[in-house]
Amino acid sequence: MDMWKAFRKSAKNNVPQASILFDKFHVMRHLSEALDQVRKSEYARLKGQDRAYIKDIKGQKYTLLSHHENLTLQGRQALEKLLAANKRLYIAYLLKESFGQLWDYQKEGWARRFFENWKAALK
């Protein structure tokens, strides 16, 4: 279901025994927003020559937030350059992209294991 609070509240009130599962689109949207926050904070954090070196961060929002397989060759090259320039952004990107694998698991136990490992990687 959508992550909207009203939906969760209605489900809890009307079918309290049901488990709630958020859809991939909405979860990934939140992860994309978090990645964009990292992009903005990294640009703001850097000063002087470091900032000049990665000035491309400011103009690469959509390249960064696009799924890798949807990028053109030019987009992939720009993404590689951007991620090579900043380790924090690179790690945030990998975490966001890898999370999409969660929906590929057929067994709950494997999905839980993946999620716990992914969550540990956030630290």
Integer Cα distance of 34 and 28 in angstroms? 10
Integer Cα distance of 9 and 101 in angstroms? 28
- The answer to whether the predicted template modeling score (pTM) of the entire model surpasses 0.75 is yes
Angle at 69 between CA 4 and CA 123, to 5 degrees: 60
Tens of pLDDT along 22-37?
Answer: 889 999 999 999 999 9
Instruction: Please name the amino acid found at residue 12.
Output: K
Integer Cα distance of 40 and 16 in angstroms? 40
Tens of pLDDT along 66-107?
Answer: 888 888 998 898 888 888 888 899 999 999 999 999 999 999
Q: Residue 58 in contact with residue 43, Cβ under 8 Å? A: yes
